[in-house]
């Protein structure tokens, strides 16, 4: 005697599913993390800001590799053409550079040697593990999940705007040049979000896929949150793991550093 | 009693190693294959040309995915910026397209429906296996070997020039529009070769690495050769494998096809 298979549950409506994704951001995005509040509220010491710049570099610098891994799985040329702009935004051209070069301008502004930051030497293992987990996720998981994981960009314009305002208000190093990365992301992220969100809403056409996409987005919020947890533990509580950046390391030569708050 | 480890053999000089790579092309590149000679010599039937266009699409269309897989492993932003131009050449922009759209112009010129060709439905399994082996190689092997495998481009300008001349002379479908893919590759491939060759000559600084790079280039000539073997077997000898393109399939509507030789 066989029992009948249970009827598949109906997918959420487009609006319900969209709202579900938005709620993940409202509940789990790293703008809720105490380190973020401390940073944009002006509560970070210069060394805590530096630790953030050193570690966040690991994330920034892996984003184009993550996007290339995603593109390497796209057999639709038109989708590749659209996605390629993310790599262009971050890497930029051979001469002018892009987002990651703007990140190094921020490194310089906080008194760090950009070559030291770019070397990745001082990054905490926990940061590396979180970022590597994201790159692997995008390389290995279904395309829908990989796109869904990118949707933290939905919540990014808010955090970037808040960050620019907070940093400008509280830190002497902050000016248009040093914060160019965040300003550019305000517009770059918007076009990426529109595309990614439409893709996810269009392709998550069963409840199973909606669940997987929501889980992917939650996973990505974990990736971001874990990085701020590690920063807090290492540099606010002062339990810096072996081999990670120590205050005083990787600074610009004195003449350049003296310009920095 | 321990025997002393054998002294490591000295690497080849830069000139010797370069010559070794060139010789691989002279002995193994697919311009030596009878299908190539038949094609550019005007000996192919229209259906043999079509079979080539259908199958070669698989290779063309995977090249940007292969390059993205390579970029996903590059943690040097500058190297990524340089390599990205290969994807740009093949995929082009959202509106204008690139090399693979030019390939579909060739498909149309030989009377095939570009959508059919782009679907990849008629591609022979042997073609798919060879192309997949190349993409996997570039994704998994050391970076030096992956770059070395791309060096078949050293020999490509010769084959493209020969092909353009041969096709123009022998086939009515051949004109500037339908052969635009090959004309563009004459200049695009040149800059890629210069960069790749310098990279390989610079980085293969032990005999072991030189051997691996030479093996990678040989492997790549195998990937290209195997595709022409499959074409010969399937369409010259007429042993088309199950599921592969059959003459008469995927043609343009009659009105468009009548323009074609």
- Rounded to the nearest angstrom, the minimum Cα separation between A84 and chain B is 9
Residue A51 belongs to what H/E stretch?
Answer: helix A46-71
Mutate to test the interface with B, among A64, A65, A66, A72 (most CBs of B within 10 A): A72
A27-48 per-position pLDDT tens digit: 999 999 999 999 989 999 999 9
Give A9 or A210, the one with higher predicted confidence: A210
Write down the pLDDT at residue A159: 84
Start-to-end CA distance of chain B, whole Å, equals 77
Q: How far apart are CA B102 and CA B181, in angstroms?
A: 5
Residue A259 has pLDDT above 70, yes or no: no
Helix (H) or strand (E) holding B80, with range, is helix B77-91
As given in the structure block, the two tokens for residue A162 are 């808040």
Percent of chain A past pLDDT 70, that is, above it, reads 95
A91 has pLDDT over 50: yes
Residue A94 is nearest to which of B64, B74, B81, comparing CB atoms? B81
Using CA coordinates, name the residue in chain A closest to B77. A91
Instruction: Pull the structure tokens for residue B16.
Output: 């010797």
Specify the range with the lowest mean pLDDT, choosing from A19-28, A31-40, A140-149, B163-172: B163-172
Measured CA to CA, the distance from residue A113 to residue A253 in angstroms comes to 8
Which CATH architecture group holds A20-242? Answer: Up-down Bundle (1.20)
More confident residue, A241 or B257: A241
Q: Would you place residue A2 in the very low, low, confident or very high pLDDT band (cuts 50, 70, 90)?
A: low
- Quick one: which of A49, A20, A11 has its CA closest to A203? A11
φ and ψ of A2, to 5 deg? -105, 140
Residue B211 has pLDDT above 90, yes or no: yes
CB contact (8 A) between residue B65 and residue A87? no
| Other beta carbons within 10 Å of B193 | 18
Cα distances (Å, whole numbers) of residue B3 to A168, B6, B7, B8:
68, 9, 12, 15
Query: B37: part of which helix (H) or strand (E)?
Result: helix B34-40
Q: Which residues of B124-145 are buried (b: 16+ CB within 10 A; e: fewer)?
A: bebbbebbeebbebbbebeebb
Taking contacts as CB-CB distances below 8 angstroms, the residues of chain B near A135 are 72
Angle, helices A207-231/A125-140, rounded to nearest 10 degrees: 160
Size of interface A-B (CB pairs under 8 A): 87
Q: What pLDDT was estimated at residue B158?
A: 80
- Give me the residue label for tokens 């493209």: B160
| Pair A256, A108: CB distance under 8 Å | yes
CB contact under 8 A, B74 and A94: no
CATH of range B14-239; options 1.10.1370.30, 3.30.70.141, 1.20.910.10, 1.10.600.10: 1.20.910.10
CA angle B103, B136, A200 (to 5 degrees): 75
Which residues of chain B does A68 touch, with a Cβ-Cβ cutoff of 8 Å? Answer: 68-72, 74, 80
* pLDDT given at position A254: 63
pLDDT score, position B258: 44
What is the interface pTM, i.e. ipTM, of the complex? 0.80
Report how far residue A161's alpha carbon sits from residue A167's, in angstroms, rounded to the nearest whole number: 10
Instruction: Pick the residue of A68, A86, A96, A117 with the most B CBs within 10 A to test the interface with B by mutation.
Output: A68
Given this model, what pLDDT does residue A260 score? 41
Do the Cβ atoms of B179 and B167 come closer than 8 Å? yes
Nearest Cα neighbor of B50 from B159, B148, B171 is B171
| Mean pLDDT value of segment A75-90 | 92
Q: What's the pLDDT tens digit per position in B176-205?
A: 888 888 888 888 878 888 999 999 999 999
In this complex, the residue of A65, A94, A97 whose CB is nearest that of residue B82 is: A94
pLDDT tens string B111-145: 999 999 999 999 999 999 999 999 999 999 999 99
**At residue A259, what are phi and psi to the nearest 5 degrees?**
-75, -10
A13 to chain B, closest Cα gap in Å: 31
Burial B219-237 (b: 16+ CB within 10 A, else e): bbbbbbbbbbbbbbbbbbe
- Count H helices, E strands: chain A? 12, 0
d(CA B186, CA B92): 16
**Residue in A100, A146, A195 with CA at minimum distance from that of residue B81:** A100
Q: Which of B143, B163, B126 is nearest to B213 (CA)?
A: B143
Return the residue matching tokens 């007429």. B238
- Which residue in chain B has the smallest CA separation from A73? B65
Nearest to B69 among A72, A87, A94 (CB): A72
Question: What is the number of alpha carbons within 13 Å of residue A15 lying toward its C-beta?
Answer: 0
Dist. CA B158–CA B161, nearest whole Å:
5
CB contact under 8 A, A68 and B71: yes
Of B70, B77, B97, Cβ closest to residue A100: B77
Question: In chain A, what are the domain boundaries?
Answer: 20-242
Three-state SS for B112?
strand
How does pLDDT run across B26-71, given as a tens digit for each residue?
Answer: 999 999 999 999 999 999 999 999 999 999 999 999 999 999 999 9
What angle do helix axes B180-203 and B156-170 make, rounded to 10 degrees? Answer: 170
Taking only Cα atoms into account, the Rg of chain A, rounded to an integer number of angstroms, comes to: 20
CB contact under 8 A, B66 and A81: no
- CB contact under 8 Å between A93 and B100, yes or no, is no
Distances in Å between the Cα of B183 and the Cα atoms of B176, B195, B219 are 8, 20, 26
CB contact under 8 A, B92 and A81: yes
pLDDT at A258 over 60: no
């Amino acid at each position: 005697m066989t029992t009948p298979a249970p009827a598949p549950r109906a997918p959420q409506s487009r609006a319900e599913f969209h709202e579900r994704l938005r709620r993940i951001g409202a509940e789990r995005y790293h703008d809720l993390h105490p380190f973020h509040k401390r940073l944009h509220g002006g509560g970070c010491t210069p060394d805590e800001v530096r630790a953030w710049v050193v570690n966040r570099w690991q994330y920034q610098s892996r984003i184009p590799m993550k996007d290339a891994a995603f593109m390497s799985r796209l057999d639709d040329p038109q989708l590749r053409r659209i996605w390629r702009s993310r790599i262009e935004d971050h890497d930029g051209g051979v001469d002018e550079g892009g987002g990651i070069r703007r990140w190094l301008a921020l490194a310089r502004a906080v008194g760090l040697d950009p070559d030291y930051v770019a070397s990745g030497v001082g990054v905490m293992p926990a940061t590396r593990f979180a970022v590597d987990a994201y790159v692997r996720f995008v390389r290995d998981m279904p395309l829908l999940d990989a796109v869904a994981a990118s949707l933290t960009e939905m919540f990014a314009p808010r955090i970037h705007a808040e960050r620019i305002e907070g940093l400008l208000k509280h830190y002497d190093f902050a000016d248009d040049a040093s914060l160019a990365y965040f300003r550019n992301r305000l517009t770059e992220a918007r076009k990426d979000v529109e595309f990614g969100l439409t893709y996810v809403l269009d392709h998550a056409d069963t409840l199973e896929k909606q669940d997987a996409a929501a889980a992917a987005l939650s996973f990505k919020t974990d990736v971001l949150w874990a990085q701020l947890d590690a920063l807090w533990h290492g540099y606010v509580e002062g339990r810096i793991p072996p081999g990670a950046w120590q205050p005083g390391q990787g600074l610009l030569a004195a003449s350049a550093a003296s310009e920095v708050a």
